[in-house]
Amino acid sequence: MIQDISPHPLIAHGASIICRKENRFLLVKRGKEPLKGSLAFPGGGVEAGENAEQAARRELTEETGLHCSRLRLVDTIDLSQEGLYGKVYNLCIFRAYDLSGQEQAGDDAVSLHWLTVEDMLQHIVTVSTLAFARRILQEEG
């Protein structure tokens, strides 16, 4: 038996998508670790052969059933500072515009929730999700 001794990547890449209707943000209840059961923006890892924007579009559709006409890169952060991944995890955070499709939780999303920032305070929401929801409200009004 040959043992796989290939090195594990030291840097992982992911994409997260901010969807907003008025003052509510679309969050998914995470069905997998890390942070299983908490609420966060839809998103996940960048797969081989795709860039962050392609990953964002794929994750949005897989987790919510929705599509968007346009994405804008809001920021890129390193989630390893939250101590969840044990390696550098660069997360590109996109703002989605002009949503279409039929909302339905899928892939590793257990459920979908449209919440205001005030609503988020009553739930277990990831730190970066709450911070970026506040930032978008401040930027967009």
At residue 16, φ and ψ (nearest 5 deg) are: -130, 150
Q: Looking at the DSSP assignment, which residues form a beta bridge with residue 92?
A: 15, 76
The amino acid occupying position 23 is N
pLDDT for 33 equals 81
Cα angle for residues 85, 87, 93 (degrees, 5° grid): 70
Over its length of 141 residues, how does the chain's per-residue pLDDT go in tens digits?
A: 444 444 455 778 899 999 999 999 999 999 888 789 999 999 999 999 999 999 999 999 999 999 999 999 999 998 776 555 566 778 999 999 999 999 999 988 999 999 999 999 999 999 899 999 999 999 998
* Cα–Cα distance for residue pair 120/113, rounded to 1 Å: 10
Q: How many C-beta neighbours within 10 Å does residue 36 have?
A: 11
Q: Does domain 11-140 have CATH number 3.30.1330.10?
A: no
Eight-class DSSP state of 122: T
DSSP for 44-101 reads: EEPPTT--HHHHHHHHHHHHHSEEEEEEEEEEEEEGGGGTSSSSEEEEEEEEEEEEEE
Question: What global pTM score does this model have?
Answer: 0.87
Write down the residue that tokens 């703002």 correspond to: 95
